[in-house]
């Protein structure tokens, strides 16, 4: 069987140039990473964490608790779950914090209860008192399969020369300002 193909223009090279340009687009990568971070936090980690303390839920939404690294080989987003939120840093002991994690008389948080909830390690608190141990580890592990599918969808968009469109709400408290 013979197949005659006539190439009018080198569209493959043009396609590859556009693909390279889109794959290097930092804003596109950041939209994807924020989308994935939103899903990870709200759909997988938050349901595993203790609900009695809003600072655990809000801490990874503060910009200073998010570390983006966007480059040509790998892009990452690190979310820090901590009891030391902006509220806690203003010397206002967060609601729901156990007395042994702060000085109630001065209203100062002294030790990070998010670390305790995740690891059950604390010099004073009993390990058995952690209500939701390993909530970040569990949520992240449960998200792994969906993250792979989300990455495949991102690659499919790239291959079709389409930018990533955010599917999730904002990932941080100040996102609406961007």
Q: Where are the alpha helices (DSSP H) in 50-166?
A: 54-58, 86-89, 113-119, 135-159
59: its two tokens = 């801490």
**Is pLDDT at 142 greater than 80 in this prediction?**
yes
CB count, 10 Å around CB of 25? 14
Q: Indicate if the alpha-carbon torsion angle 164, 166, 167, 173 is positive or negative.
A: positive
Using CA atoms, how far residue 18 sits from 9, 26, 122, in Å, is: 15, 14, 52
Give how many domains the chain has, as a whole number. Answer: 1
Q: What is the rounded average pLDDT of the residues 147-170? A: 90
Q: What is the rounded average pLDDT of the residues 112-131? A: 86
Domain housing 42: 15-177
Question: Which pLDDT score, from 0 to 100, does residue 163 have?
Answer: 96
Q: Indicate if the alpha-carbon torsion angle 89, 178, 19, 14 is positive or negative.
A: negative
150 occurs within a structural domain? yes
Contact 121, 112 (CB under 8 A): no
121 occurs within a structural domain? yes
Using CA atoms, how far residue 151 sits from 41, 88, 144, 147, in Å, is: 17, 36, 10, 6
71 occurs within a structural domain? yes
Average pLDDT, the chain: 82
For 25-74, the pLDDT digits (tens) are: 999 998 999 889 989 999 999 898 877 777 778 888 888 888 888 877 78
42 occurs within a structural domain? yes
Residue 143 and residue 112: Cα distance in Å, rounded? Answer: 25
8 occurs within a structural domain? no
pTM: 0.78
Question: Which pLDDT score, from 0 to 100, does residue 109 have?
Answer: 75
End-to-end Cα separation, the chain, in angstroms? 57
């Amino acid at each position: 069987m013979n197949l005659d193909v006539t190439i009018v223009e080198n569209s493959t090279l043009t396609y590859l140039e556009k693909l390279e340009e889109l794959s290097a687009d930092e804003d596109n990568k950041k939209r994807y990473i924020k989308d994935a971070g939103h899903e990870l936090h709200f759909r997988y980690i938050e349901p595993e964490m203790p609900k009695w303390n809003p600072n655990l839920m809000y801490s990874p939404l503060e910009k200073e608790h998010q570390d983006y690294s966007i480059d040509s080989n790998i892009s990452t987003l690190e979310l820090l779950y901590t009891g030391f939120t902006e509220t806690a840093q203003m010397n206002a002991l967060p609601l729901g914090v156990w007395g042994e994690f702060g000085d109630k008389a001065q209203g100062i948080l002294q030790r990070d209860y998010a670390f305790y909830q995740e690891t059950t390690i604390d010099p004073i608190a009993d390990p058995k008192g952690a209500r939701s141990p390993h909530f970040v580890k569990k949520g992240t592990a449960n998200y792994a399969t969906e993250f792979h599918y989300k990455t495949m969808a991102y690659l499919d968009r790239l291959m079709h020369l389409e930018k990533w469109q955010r599917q999730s709400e904002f990932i941080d408290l100040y996102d609406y300002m961007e």
